[in-house]
Structure 1
């Protein structure tokens, strides 16, 4: 996987990055990290995009 992203376009390049994002999402969505980790990869990706969108709104961007 050298030089390629784990999730194309998500910025996640390795397992440690995926775990970090899952914990960030769990914090953002106020849910259990184990529950977030059990989600399918496409749901995690969608959660990333929606969290970023909501954060932009909250920041007034």
Structure 2
């Protein structure tokens, strides 16, 4: 039996990287439909990631 190696698919194994989400054709199509371009969305996504990261760091510190 021949086994084919498949590339790692972050959408099926864990959480995809933000860059993978932002480059996904469906995400790009939804942004286009809504009149957005990636250069407008990236700053918002990075700010949200930063705020979430700071909040999670506080929770992890309190739990330790």
- Judge same fold: TM > 0.5, yes or no: no
Q: Which has the larger radius of gyration?
A: 2
TM-score (norm 1): 0.41
